[in-house]
Structure 1
Amino acid sequence: MRAIPALLFVLALSGCSYRLWVKVDGEQARPRFSVKAPRIMDPSVCFRRIVVTEAARPDRRLWEIDAVGDACAPDSEIFYGTVPAGFQERSPAAALQAGVLYEALASSGAADGDIHFVFLDGQWRTVSP
């Protein structure tokens, strides 16, 4: 009988999807994105792509990088405009302005995460969409 609750727990988890955690801080011209996976996710999950856009114009990519081949960056800190080893730049980094709402989307291939952020009063601030 103990197997039934354990089986139900496993089945419940198999239908769940997890999100990457994205945080932003640093200088206006060169924000730092921290991308992490929840501990419950497979440890092989790692960052493979980031896209930064203006929140009001998501079709306009201000910066985009993605992994080449099997490259990935586990629990990464990425500086805006700096391409990590094993990655390629698809859209060069455009200057970010104070007071403009931006969105960053990070992907591992198995999970995504995003953050809305704006530079106000000398620091990057997270904003709820």
Structure 2
Amino acid sequence: MSVGISRQFNRCDYQSLNTNHFFCIMGAPAARLTDMHVCPMVTPGVPPIPHVGGPITGPGAPTVLVASMPASVVGDMAVCVGLPDTVAMGSTTVLLGGKPAARLGDPTAHGGKIVLGAPTVLFG
């Protein structure tokens, strides 16, 4: 495996090296401002108002560009019906501006998750 490709992986199972190959777990695609999230929350009322999610609006990490867009970090706001949603958790190994980087699949405060990311940039 070349050095460039091995850097895309954040964790490797080196115990299986005795079989002349090993398996590495890749990071998740990086989330950017304008990437979408979904929200399962429902505001009670008559009729109940479902939250559907929307784009991540920031402020993000303006000095870090991922596929020409500012990277998203924990604490970024996201458009949602009712109160705004926020990115709740992110990478434990990648910090952008001192905050964990947000990735595809990371949870939001309303119980949803980020559903879009840059497939060419992987964060562990």
Q: Does TM, scored on the shorter chain, surpass 0.5?
A: no
TM-score for both structures, normalised by structure 2: 0.30
By percentage of residues, which structure has more strand? 1
TM-score for both structures, normalised by structure 1: 0.29
